[in-house]
A and B are shown apart, each in its own frame.
Chain A
Amino acid sequence: MSGPSTYVPKSALGRWFESRLPIAGLIHGSFIAYPTPRNLNYWWTFGGILSFMLVAQIVTGIVLTMHYTPHVDLAFASVESIMRDVNWGWFLRYAHSNGASMFFVAVYIHMFRGVYYGSYKAPREVLWILGVIIYLLMMATGFLGYTLPWGQMSFWGATVITNFFTAIPLVGDAITTWLWGGYSVGNPTLNRFFALHYLLPFMIAGVVVLHVWALHVVGQNNPDGIEIKNVNRDAVAFTPYATIKDSFALVCFLILYAWFVFQVPNYLGHADNYIEANPLSTPAHIVPEWYYLPFYAILRAIPSKLGGVIAMFGSIAILAFLPWLDTSRVRSGKYRPMFKIFFWAFVLCCLGLGYLGSMPAEGGYVIAARLLTTYYFGFFIIILPLLGIFETPKPVPASIADAVLARNGGAAAQPAE
């Protein structure tokens, strides 16, 4: 797709440098000349939004680190001192904690978009799997970060999550002790969680580079799921077309983000996390952050501890096999009438699991969680493989230009440049 760069710097110094390290050509090829399908809709702007959120989290996080103390006796007070005594500290902290939520909002939309439009299908399997790895790293980073303020939910959340490892037969207890650096969550745990919380975002950034690289090798998918055949008819240049569209979408997203930071900054948190961690007092209900709730529901839906942990990790791991579970020849859900129904049912299933994850694990909630867990796995293991065989897809347009033409009621598509 991108091919060798045709970029020629205008200045002599630029040409001198380019022949030694062609970084300007790389940037030009990736973000300026790169051909992007002309039929992309706004669901395709979330990749750019996610890049912005990663940078925003790293920048606010680094400044917060300058004022934070990772010690069980001092952490809670140091966060409060950021809120009170550090210039713009309240903004940094609320931007960072709500930023994590916004990051997950964007990643969930990005992932559902990928599923709906079949973005994981050949030749984009590696691109998709890299995305699953990023998501996994994000979940780890979010969890580690939530322990740092050392409130009640920080402490008990960390206790619950690290206890998963005790479910491993034979060596579980030894592994958990090793993770904790002691016999319970304590100061060594907080110290290592802090170190890892600082490390993982840079690992995410590394995998993001691979993700973007893979994207630029295979090219972007699009709502019609057809490859670019004629660059002049089917594509537009990344700059200015995608740049301006992504910028507009990003600023709209920032309005949502700003609303949370400035107006309802504690809505997505839990009141108990404003109580300093107390190992002797367990909160009535231990709940993780909202973005883990569907997986928490799956964990608790399984009546055995080891089974629950396997199901929970399995529910994420299964995403990596999606390219091979979906047997349909047609890529985009737009042309798959039955898939559409099962897809939206899957979205509702995930939201339902999220709600159930926030409720106590008792009575009807558990039954509902079991039903939805069955659908969650059934969607991947049964529905997607069979749909490819039994579904009759609608006819797919011959080219992206034809698809755009059909949508615009026959108006001739102008060449982009």
Chain B
Amino acid sequence: MISFKSISLALAISTMAFTGAMAAEEGHGATPPRQEWTFGGFFGKYDRAQLQRGFKVYREVCQACHSLNLLRFGNLHDAGGPQFSEAQVKALAAEYQIKDFNDKGEAIERPGRASDRFPKLFVNADAAAAVHGVAPPDLSVIAKARSYSRGFPLFLLDMVPGFAYQEHGVDYIVALLNGYTKKGEDHWNEFFPGHQIAMPKPLSDGQVEYPDNAPKTVQQYSHDVAAFLMWAAEPKLEERKKTGFNALIFLAIFAGLLYFTKKKIWKDAH
């Protein structure tokens, strides 16, 4: 049967053709170790408790320097996210002061609402750089904006069903947060390209209180905050994977039906 041979060949060729841009990235830092994530794989879902803990780490540690501009407080209540209750989100938003204008057009600051975005920490990058030396990046999409190269041929495997690997960014974040491995050198990081990082070691054991029994260690904090940042970057991940599962099932059945219809129609023509 020529048909299946040709189609599988076509797929193989197209697969080979993807000399993805990822191969181009050069890892000057050490290769981040691979972590286990609940949101990886075909049926991946975020762990709500982990996202809630991760948000706590962000709020109590990262937020001192890093903004989260693209998110609204209300997103914390959205399906597929940390799913804080509406009342929790409302109370949380009210703790922030938001710049606005009153009815007379005068500049004011008012308590935040669920529909407000997380405020900017500085008016612009120059102002941030003036305080921190280097402007700390906004963290809204950082989990997708960081990656590392797995090199040829492993990067080809990253797209293959069953082996698909999409979590380069979060693995890098975990590695980075645990990468301050030289005693006494606060700006040396094993995983940062060039090893000299502007951000001093941000986390230490016991720094953030957890409402549940999760260990209060840098390991745990880094995992939780990385998961939270993955959600911040990809808030529709659960919806996407669920829709994708349905779409693939539908297409597979449809393809099967078409195959037998085709066979029947072509029976006399071969």
Contact = CB atoms under 8 A, between A and B. Distances in A.
Contacts, number: 176
A31 interface: no
Contact of B145 (A81, A251, A271): A271
A241 interface: yes
A252 B158 contact: no
Interface in A107-145: 108-109, 112
Interface residues of A, number: 68
Interface residues of B, number: 65
B23 A358 contact: yes
B10 A289 contact: no
A105 interface: yes
Nearest to B266: A241
Given A244-B261, A251-B258, A268 B25 contact: no
Interface in A219-274: 236, 240-241, 244-245, 247-249, 251-252, 254-256, 258-272, 274
Contacts of A287: 21, 24
Interface string B8-35: 0011011011111111111000000000
A354 B146 CA distance: 23
B240 A248 contact: no
Given A80-B141, A258-B248, A264 B164 contact: yes
Contact of B144 (A249, A260, A274, A288): A274
B258 A248 contact: yes
A284 B29 CA distance: 13
A254 B251 contact: yes
B243 to A, nearest CB: 6
A289 B21 contact: yes
Contacts of A43: 6, 10
Contacts of B244: 258-259, 261-263
Contacts of A70: none
Given A248-B262, A263-B42, A109 B145 contact: no
Interface string A23-53: 0000000000000001001110010000000
Contacts of B169: 271
B145 A263 contact: no
Contacts of A288: 21
A255 B14 CA distance: 13
Contacts of A355: 19, 23, 152
Contact of A91 (B152, B243, B252): B243
A248 B240 CA distance: 25
B269 interface: yes
B244 to A, nearest CB: 2
Contacts of B258: 244, 247-248, 251
Interface in B109-166: 137, 140-142, 144-147, 152, 158-159, 161, 164, 166
A275 interface: yes
Main secondary structure of the interface of A (DSSP, over half): helix
Nearest to B69: A77
Interface in B142-201: 142, 144-147, 152, 158-159, 161, 164, 166, 168-169, 193
B269 A241 contact: yes
Contacts of B17: 105, 108, 290, 351, 354
B59 interface: no
A262 B70 contact: no
A267 B159 contact: yes
B236 interface: yes
A50 B23 CA distance: 27
Contacts of A290: 17-21
Given A264-B166, A359-B23, A404 B270 contact: yes
A37 to B, nearest CB: 11
Contact of B262 (A38, A244, A256): A244
A264 B236 CA distance: 13
A11 interface: no
A112 B16 CA distance: 14
Contacts of B26: 284-285, 360
Contacts of A262: 240-241, 243-245, 247-248
B159 A258 contact: no
A77 B70 contact: yes
Interface string A73-97: 0000100110110000011001000
Given A83-B235, A108-B17, 19 more contacts: A38-B269, A42-B3, A84-B75, A248-B255, A248-B259, A258-B251, A262-B241, A263-B161, A264-B158, A266-B166, A267-B159, A267-B166, A270-B24, A272-B145, A284-B193, A287-B21, A290-B17, A355-B23, A416-B269
Interface of B: 2-3, 6-7, 10-11, 13-14, 16-26, 42, 69-71, 75, 137, 140-142, 144-147, 152, 158-159, 161, 164, 166, 168-169, 193, 233, 235-236, 239-241, 243-245, 247-248, 251-252, 254-255, 258-259, 261-262, 265-266, 268-270
21 contacts: A41-B6, A43-B10, A84-B70, A109-B14, A248-B258, A248-B262, A261-B244, A262-B244, A264-B166, A266-B166, A267-B166, A268-B20, A271-B22, A271-B25, A271-B146, A288-B21, A293-B19, A355-B23, A358-B23, A360-B26, A414-B269
